[in-house]
Amino acid sequence: MSVEQYVEGLFSTREDPDLERVLVSIREHGMPEISVHPSYGRLLTLLAGASGAVNALEIGALGGYSAICIARGLQPGGSLISLELKEDFAQLARSNVSAAGFGGMVSWRIGEALHSLTELEAEGKTFDFFFIDADKGNYPNYLDWALKLGNPGAIVVADNTLLKGRVADPAKDSPSVLAMRSFNERIASDPRLQGVILPAYDGLAIARIL
């Protein structure tokens, strides 16, 4: 048994119908089964709660799994804005998030995230918590946006920052690999951030805006 399987065994008996509903609905709609790993979903709830976040921003909604995890951690009266390219994905996320009881807390912006981010800036929105989990080539741009829209002390979490190991393979040089290497280097050494990268599963970066 791997240590990851051992850890999963500790939590697997905990039933979670709201998250289970998301996974089943994604499967039924033939959508990609790429919701955040359940362990990292728990970490999203923990970090949102421990940081006292009120206003959160998510980039990449899919079926609403991570949105539910983040909403669970936000302070009472908090809100989450979720950016999603595909209208049908956002509809499914909306239905799953409502079924989980967070319909009043979460709103969606459909279309290219970079476009929605420009709008959020024009509206004067700022955030305490970010979850970056969309097109990998734009991670450095999304980090710039988090620095622009983040309140001091804001937490930035990003999923899949190891690209199934491709970032560590010198033979790989696709645009998304190059972008993710640059993103990870900034998590490690940008003086405006205090960062860490967890290498389990597909990698999770966590940073605090100083």
Q: Which parts of this chain interact with ligand SAH (CB under 6 A)?
A: 34-36, 60-62, 65-66, 83-86, 89, 112-113, 133-135
Residue of closest CB approach to ligand SAH: 60
**160 binds, options ligand SAH, Mg ion, none, Cβ within 5 to 8 A by partner type:** Mg ion
User: What is 142-199 written as a DSSP string?
Assistant: HHHHHHHHEEEEEEEEEE-TTGGGGGG-TT---HHHHHHHHHHHHHHH-TTEEEEEE-
In terms of CB distance, is 157 or 209 closer to ligand SAH?
157
| Shortest CB 28 distance to Mg ion, Å | 20
Among 71, 83, 159, 203, binds Mg ion (CB under 5 A): 159
84 is a contact residue toward Mg ion (CB under 5 A):
no
Residue closer to ligand SAH (CB basis): 36 or 193: 36
> Least distance from C-beta 62 to ligand SAH, angstroms?
4
Shortest Å, Cβ 49 to ligand SAH: 18
Residue 133 engages Mg ion in binding (rule: CB under 5 A): yes
Partners of 208 in beta bridges: 155, 194
Q: Which residue, 101 or 194, has its beta carbon nearer to ligand SAH?
A: 101
Give 72-141 as a 3 state SS string. HHCCCCCEEEEEECCHHHHHHHHHHHHHCCCCCCEEEEECCHHHHHHHHHHCCCCEEEEEECCCHHHHHH
Residues in contact with Mg ion, counted by CB under 5 A, come to a total of: 3
Q: Measured at the alpha carbon of residue 34, what is the angle toward residues 32 and 39, in degrees to the nearest 5? A: 155
161 binds Mg ion (CB under 5 A): no
Q: How far apart are CA 45 and CA 27, in angstroms?
A: 24
Which residues of this protein are in contact with Mg ion, per CB under 5 A?
Answer: 133, 159-160
